[in-house]
Structure 1
């Protein structure tokens, strides 16, 4: 059986359901307005036609640069359909120096950029092309590149980047055709409609530069479903109601932080509560829901489902779903081959996750699993160790219990290496700070707590720290940065909660102890 691709899935569905809407997009009443005048539909046949149009344009444009097919080009979908390997860059990584380094590391030969970045990429070492709207007359005489079934499953098809930085920049996540085929298979099972007698309608989950929305779109296209594009990823409850009313939304996909807001709003909004209760499925990902919000949803019989995944493997585990005590338990998605292995050594952070008598298991993607990431990302044993910890509550059924490292996730579920930030503070501010800790799980960005070494006012200390760490943070994703003194908290020496054995500061305990202060500075309740 040939390996499947996203382009083959689109071709098949566009042939089967040409007039079905693949997307619904908002048309605002006026520029700058929040009022949605109408939701416009884009059909499968139109989408396929647009993909083919842009494929012709970019195939001709890049070939004119002397770039043969299967050259890596910095940007998905269109370069892919034109026969090139897209390297996707998030707009949350605005530092051009880091982008250029990543392009070089991937041996990319060109960069396609969004028009607003024209000045930013003026010194790009590679040929650049602006991503403008293409018309039929722009491709007159151009030929659509042939789309052949992939022969070698090890050939790279797309390059993502880790959602957090390591040593000053994200890591490359090269993905091959075997991996893509596995994503398409897993996405099919994950997004299967509950009612085959009608078209499923879900909502955009995140940026196409990251795996989450790509994965959901892989599944949606296979089922001939429709995806609504909201005005923003953290859309309001009123907009959710509007999408249900005017777009026929019946399946909600959201990161946990954003879903938690909808659930809290439903406490005092009966119409919203009714909308949530009538959805076929409410899928959340990225983080676990806060316990109070999870209890509320189950008490109100909202059909929650947890989707557990990461950039390197896409979705890996899916909760049982439905109603009842075991519906939140996670199971590996069909067609995968995973191991859940006891930690090789006792972790001092274990008490942060679970009772000391419970056995924590690390999720390991075995090399035999078709979704096992590229060899460059695997451990010495040939398998991919996720670092994600679980408890097995009954055979084959698990519940997530955090990570065995110092990474946290932001509100949009992108990762942040807290230890790297702490190490930089200690290296640059060792004469000012006696100890520090970075927190911010589920927040828009991290926050830094410091115990001072010098007798100066908190305001002066914060300004000095910001000045010294500025260069380090300039290279990081927006969600990893500390760029303002308001996100630095100065507390008395020795007051941050610590472990009993080694005296290390306890990250989760700091989050809890200073929740009110964090809520105030971020302007949110979490």
Structure 2
């Protein structure tokens, strides 16, 4: 096969054979009083993969699905068979388009639209979605996913993996936020998959040892972070232990450490913040954090107090910058923890920092940056980079700008300084949210009520909508009625959003006098960051009330 045309599954299959006897996946199972660890070896996973791949190749071929076609896969994202079926579809020569349990929040119409956008030929679905999928509005062929244990291993040869180009699509995931009520498909190419394993090795900095590195999954198997762990952990013979839920609390981390040998954490910053708060008063949790070979956190920044406590407590932490489109790109140094949150490029990553023309005073997230107006940089991924996004989603003809801004704080070391557009991160896992689409919908559907509005909540627990009303509100009763009418008129749009993007509580609507929101001098646009600063105390009260 010519160089550069290898299917990403060839690498996966070689790893499954090379590390056959090692644990690949661990699961803590059983009743609370008698918990045990179930181990799935590389060899056992390969066996399940083969029989599932053969089943799907035979089944989908009969339905007229051709090699290279897109196949929708709606999974719970919380169980071992999900990972088997996901990679089995790839092994059978098809391109999976992955949906998770999260899409029940949006409903069938959004899933249908995304399948249509990617020209999927069929939708495979977990039985839990039976009631949703059986709808006349879904004209696509549907196939229920059978239990893995019901598939019989047949000693029949699967066809060879198809030849592919480096930029051909291997899998399709979706953005964690929505634009105009829909997530955007994110195709991941074969070269992206192959390079991700190299990127992962650059992230891992713990000293070599005789044992096996055991990592937790980071959220749902239906999302890119956990779904691709088979590919990049398997490349170096490591192991993943499944979380019982998409979070990491005291009981679970102690259990996974004791029963499954968890010795590396790869988690979202809000999860780590919760563990840090526990460890400050819980010696057992502190011991666990200190015993980890490496703790890598991503998705957001920790607050400075947590960062300082980590440094003073000798916890082996590194911060990581990654996105669904470009994967792992930046990491801090494990042997220089005092530099957190400053990060450097992962070895082999060809990304570039380009001086931005954005307003540094408005976008810098720390007081020092706002006062000094330090140079900020756009993060650019050239077309030639192995992790450059699929051509269909690039935002420049010669590559891709991530939309995140950085400041160089030491030669070659950069700190994240926010977004350069209308996307922010919000909610429990700091997922992306397109504030502009929410604001535009509010202005459109509530034109009789709203003169101007803005949505805030960057790296906060939830969104808050600020409104300058188009009519006089003379009493508390008028204000309450006004807010309920806003919720009523935006309800249909909210229903299409993910839960972290929805504004469905009147306590998260703040009404201010017309013209009072801070604006830019030149264009008169509302300054989102300035609103957060001016109303910081009020916002803290709202978040504390768990609105």
Residues 308 and 317, structure 1, Cα contact 8 Å, conserved in 2: yes
Show the counterpart of 1:474: 495
- Note closer, same or farther for the CA distance 1:40–1:199 as it changes in structure 2 (3 Å cut): same
Give the structure 1 partner of residue 439 of structure 2: 422
| Alignment-derived partner of residue 9 in structure 2 | 7
Q: Tell me the residue number matched to 2:402.
A: 386
8 A Cα contact 1:150 1:177, kept in partner: no
The partner residue of 2:122 within 110, 113, 125 is 110
* Partner in structure 1 of residue 29 of structure 2: 27
Cα deviation for residue 20 of structure 1 reads 1.9
Cα distance change, pair 511–341 in 1 and its aligned pair in 2 (3 A): farther
Distance 1:444 1:146 in 2: 48
Residue pair 1:337, 1:365 contacting (<8 A) in 2 also = yes
Q: How much does 1:352 deviate?
A: 4.5
Instruction: State the partner residue of 1:212.
Output: 225
Mapped partners of 1:350, 1:327: distance in 2:
20
**Is 2:182–2:497's contact at 8 Å kept on the other side of the alignment?**
yes
Q: 1:35 to 1:380 in 2, by over 3 A?
A: same
What is the CA–CA distance in structure 2 between the aligned matches of 1:3 and 1:206, rounded to whole Å?
31
**Pick from 91, 112, 117: which aligns with 1:100?**
112
Task: Please list, as runs of the form range in 1=range in 2, the aligned pairs for 1:432-511 lying within 5 A after superposition.
Answer: 432-443=449-460, 445-452=462-469, 453-455=471-473, 456-491=477-512, 502=524, 504-507=526-529, 508-509=532-533
CA pair 142-468 structure 1, distance change in 2 beyond 3 A = farther
2:96 aligned with 1:89: no
Q: Aligned partners of 1:332, 1:374: CA distance in 2, in Å? A: 21
> How far apart are 1:331 and its partner, in Å?
1.4
Kept after mapping to 1: 8 A contact 2:455/2:528? no
1:339 to 2:352 alignment: yes
Residue 74 of structure 1 contacts residue 111 of structure 1 at CA under 8 Å; is this kept in 2?
Answer: yes
Q: CA offsets per residue over residues 132-180 of structure 1, 9 Å max, x none?
A: 21346x4465734234374422322111222221233122222222222
Give the gaps of 5 or more residues in structure 1.
none
The question of 1:512 aligning with 2:512 is answered no
Aligned-partner SS, 2:187:
strand
- Counterparts of 2:12 and 2:191 in 1: how far apart (Å)? 18
Which one of 188, 192, 196 corresponds to residue 183 of structure 1?
A: 196
The answer to whether the 8 Å contact 1:74/1:87 transfers is: yes
- TM-score where L is the length of structure 1: 0.91
State how far apart, in whole Å, the 2-side matches of 1:505 and 1:394 are: 29
CA RMSD of superposed structures (Å) = 2.5
Residue 316 of structure 1 and its aligned partner are, at CA, apart by 1.3
- The 10-residue stretch of structure 1 (417-426 or 432-441) with the greater mean CA deviation from structure 2: 432-441
Matches within 5 A, 1:216-235: 216-235=229-248
Which range moved further: 161-170 or 284-293?
161-170
Shift of 1:242: 1.8
Q: Kindly tell me: are residues 5 and 369 of structure 1, through their superposed partners in 2, closer, same or farther at Cα, counting changes over 3 Å? A: same
Alpha carbons of structure 1 residues 232 and 444: separation in structure 2 relative to 1, 3 Å = farther
Q: Retained in 1: the 8 A contact 2:311–2:338? A: no
378-387 or 185-194, larger mean C-alpha shift:
185-194
- State the shift of 1:431 in Å: 2.6
Relative to structure 2, which stretch is displaced further, 476-485 or 108-117? 476-485
Partner of 2:83: none
